[in-house]
Amino acid sequence: MCQKNNIQHIGGLECTEAGTPLLSSAFQLVRERAKYNILVFINADIILTKDFLKIFNFLPEKDFLVVGRRWDLNITKLLDFSGKWEDEVNSLINKSGKLHAPAGSDYFIFNKDSFKNLPPFAVGRVGWDNWMLQNAFNKNIIVVDATPLAKVIHQNHDYKHKVAAGKKEDGKNMSLTGMSRFLPTLRNIEHELRLNGIKKRTTFFMNFSQIVKKNIYYFMVKFLTLLRGAFSLIAKMAKKVIEFINAPLFYLEQSECEKFSDCQLLAKVLYNQPPNSDRYLEYPWMLKNITITSGKILDVGSTASNMLYNFLSKTIEINSIDLNSKEIENDSIKFSVGDIRKTNYSDNYFDLISCISTLEHIGVSGRYGSDEDPNGDKKAVQEMARILKPGGTMLVTVPYGIKDVLPINKLYNKERIENLFKGFSSVEIEYRKYFKKFHLWLTTTEEEAAKTDMIKDSWYAIAFIKVKK
């Protein structure tokens, strides 16, 4: 094919043990042979139209990275590139095409001297496109989303080629990103490319709620934190004013709280999360369900340890356990590095155990350093049951829907949850789902939550599980 189409084939590509090409090697080999200053990486299953060439009329003079979303399309017959194939494809897109989620990009346009520090990512695996975005952000490289200008087509296909080795390489890629749970996506890009050039994605007014939250909200909550230990009348009045202002700000933004009462709780929580983060739901739910005023709490995964200490009675002892060391702000929190599947705690030791967005990662090797253990979550629940007092409460949140997203996390369904929490005296479950149409997390039924596809829907539903021993 290369000879027929006058394409230069470059050999000597480094690969993983499973034979998957390494992007670091590919980028370097092409960089050494490139005659021009602009490089373009495009995934092999992408079809380009003439619109793609328009991008090169608007490239910035300084360092840049241009990316874009693809259109997923079922193409059932051969395309005749000598005819009006673009019109046919555009017609198909209008009828049945789906704009892919903004989790990553299928093409990258950049200067030849950029991204020389690319880690040895495996091609076709997760994470590396998110790393490209974050690396560009860190270096103040202009990142542009060309989706509005150029339609690129992805011909739908199966993923039989992504076998066990692929899952392992997904995990390796994720570890190489060096990033936390929330990876940057195309939603985080400030500039977009249109027919009239590169423009700021949104106006000041469209970003107003975000600006308010960053410049006012966190200042107020920090001020509230300083006042927390004060008991004077003026301090108490100041607290009430701050809470009164913050709760409506969250509520009016309509992307974080379904209920005003949740916002009132959340207005006390200093925690920076993306607009559709599940933390905006999980923390208020957790706080509402912690009814003890004394005793011992164990926070599994350490997602909320500092917050629990700050906002609960000081007669409650806060314990925290995580597989990795973490920065715990307060020395009064009893933090330990350990595996929740097998701990050194005594039987019937804790009055309450919280496990927020953690269970789905136990026994999944893609993140947080866990080993591969298909029954890891079950072992964790059994151990938590052992160390929980009779009558004690366990508060657990997990992603809910179809298809595990390995090696990132499991997704749960009715059967999995029933199997996990057999033997507890009571199990109460609520479900929330993020509806992109309304930009809201809303209470939903189990049936609706069970239909959620994390890949297609760009997010998962959440099960809020409260069990009694």
d(CA 139, CA 135): 6
Query: Which residues are registered as beta bridge partners of 435?
Result: 440
Query: What DSSP character marks residue 144?
Result: E
Terminal CA-to-CA distance of the chain, rounded, Å?
A: 66
pLDDT at 331: 78
User: What is the per-residue pLDDT for 53?
Assistant: 93
Q: How far is CA 138 from CA 41, 132, 134, 135, 177, in A?
A: 21, 10, 6, 5, 13
28: which 2 tokens? 């370097």
> What is the distance between the alpha carbons of residues 411 and 431, in angstroms, rounded to a whole number?
13
- For the chain, give me the number of helices (H) and strands (E)? 15, 18
Q: Domain 290-468 maps to which CATH number in 3.30.70.260, 3.40.50.300, 3.40.50.150, 3.40.50.2300?
A: 3.40.50.150
Q: Give the closest residue to 9 by CA, choosing from 29, 24, 28, 25.
A: 29
The domain limits of the chain are 23-200, 206-271, 290-468
pLDDT for 298 equals 96
Tell me how crowded residue 86 is: count the other CB atoms within 10 A of its CB.
17
Residue 244 pLDDT: 56
Instruction: With beta carbons less than 8 A apart as the criterion, state whether 466 and 394 touch.
Output: yes
Cis status of the peptide bond prior to 407, with omega within 30 of 0: yes
Cα–Cα nearest to 406, from 88, 145, 241, 174: 174
| Whether the Cβ atoms of residue 454 and residue 403 lie closer than 8 Å to each other | yes
Nearest to 311 by CA among 270, 274, 351, 352: 270
Interior angle at CA 202, CA 252 and CA 199, nearest 5: 180
pTM metric for this prediction: 0.49
Q: Which stretches of 254-388 are DSSP H helices?
A: 260-266, 279-289, 305-311, 376-387
pLDDT along the chain (469 residues), means of 10: 86 90 94 93 92 92 92 86 86 87 88 91 88 90 93 81 66 73 72 89 51 53 54 62 50 40 48 55 83 93 75 88 79 89 96 94 77 90 97 96 77 94 94 72 86 79 95
The whole-number pLDDT of residue 263 equals 46
Tell me which residue has tokens 């009462």. 261
pLDDT at 157: 76
